[in-house]
Amino acid sequence: MTAASPPPYDRDTWPIAVCMHGFRPVAADGTRLHDAAPEVWDDVFAQVAALGFTAIELADSHIRPADLDASRRADLLAIAAAHGVTPISVHVQRQSVIQPGRGEENLAYAHRTIDASAELGLQVFSTGLHQPFSDAQRKALWFWTAQGPVDPDDAETRALAVRRLRELGEHAASVGLPMALEMYEDTYLGTADSAVRLIEEIGLDNVGLNPDIGNLIRLHRPIEDWREMHEKTLPYANYWHVKNYMRDEAGDGSWATSVPTSLELGLIDYRAMVARALELGFRGPFLMEQYGGDSLGVCATNRTYLQSLLPQSAGA
């Protein structure tokens, strides 16, 4: 194996973004954050900056870059910049390009999001194949404890996913963007082998994996070994949602349970996995993600921990 090139960043400069889970997508008065007044956006970025973050991922559950007009995009960048925060990525979620009845519409939306991302100067276009929550997931305390949609075990549908994702990857490449595909249960990105095969089937240098294995270790069912999943997927990683969960399970596989926790305390050993990722050549941004509790506060704690795992600057 060829030795990886030296990292382009150190622990003080590596892009580490915060997620938007800590903010309500819809206010008490019914106004969506996407449509909120500038002073509401100002408060969002003020809170992000107060916790020491200089980068944020725009989740389309909260703000949809594709559906902002030119003046609102300018407002978004100006307000963020006033607080020293840079939107570095967009994550299109639950808009699968093979969702029954909506695949073509979701594909068109993803294309518009890529164009908007380029106009905003973002560094990553991230998406996946997960679909909207099922009724059971919407009712559950933790959505991952209930069954959601499942991609069919069907060669024709998988081939359609490859074609449409390749089309998006080619578009992203044409505007200078990497495209990251998020691992998620019960999709063609739901196991390490299937996810790697999908990237290889797409066959574009700018299309890689978002190895969000936290999505998989939280499941209340038998799972793949987290070490093996990382070993298989990290060589394809170009963007990384990192989060962790406490997990317990019966030796006979009859039950499993999980709850969110910090990067340092959960099942995944991120000290080992980050070191391995850098060894394998990972050079993309990180995204701090957390469900439950004070999401922003835990993300800040996780950022400090993650920075301690990254290389020091030369001469430090």
Residue 15 forms part of a structural domain: no
Q: Residue 90's beta-bridge partner residues?
A: 58, 125
Strands 244-249 and 55-59 come out as unpaired
For residue 229, is it within any domain?
A: yes
Which residues, in sequence order, are bridge partners of residue 32? 26
CA dist., res. 136 & res. 8, Å (int): 44
How buried is residue 183: exposed, middle or buried, by Cβ count under 10 Å (0-12/13-18/19+)?
Answer: buried
Look up the pTM and report it. Answer: 0.95
Please give the chain's pLDDT, 316 residues, in tens: 445 677 889 999 999 999 999 999 999 999 999 999 999 999 999 999 999 999 999 999 999 999 999 999 999 999 999 999 999 999 999 999 999 999 999 999 999 999 999 999 999 999 999 999 999 999 999 999 999 999 999 999 999 999 999 999 999 999 999 999 999 999 999 999 999 999 999 999 999 999 999 999 999 999 999 999 999 999 999 999 999 999 999 999 999 999 999 999 999 999 999 999 999 999 999 999 999 999 999 999 999 999 999 999 754 4
Q: Is residue 225 part of a domain?
A: yes
Please give the pLDDT value at position 8: 87
Is residue 239 situated within a structural domain?
yes
- 53 near 303, Cβ under 8 Å? yes
Residue-number span of the structural domain to which 268 is assigned: 220-310
Q: What is the 3 state secondary structure string of the chain?
A: CCCCCCCCCCCCCCCEEECCCCCCCECCCCCEHHHCCHHHHHHHHHHHHHCCCCEEEEECCCCCHHHCCHHHHHHHHHHHHHCCCEEEEEECCCCCCCCCCCHHHHHHHHHHHHHHHHHHCCCEEEECCCCCCCHHHHHCCCHHHCCCCCCCCCHHHHHHHHHHHHHHHHHHHHCCCCEEEECCCCCCCCCHHHHHHHHHHHCCCCEEEECCCHHHHCCCCCCCCHHHHHHHHHHHECCEEECEEEEEECCCCCCEEEEEECCCCCCCCHHHHHHHHHHHCCCCCEEECCCCCCHHHHHHHHHHHHHHHCCCCCCC
Do the bridges between strand 244-249 and strand 256-261 make them parallel or antiparallel, or are there none, so unpaired? antiparallel
Task: Answer whether residue 273 is part of any domain.
Answer: yes
163: in domain: no
Number of domains into which the chain is organized: 1
Is position 57 within any domain?
no
Token output for 2:
């060829």
Q: Is residue 21 in a domain? A: no
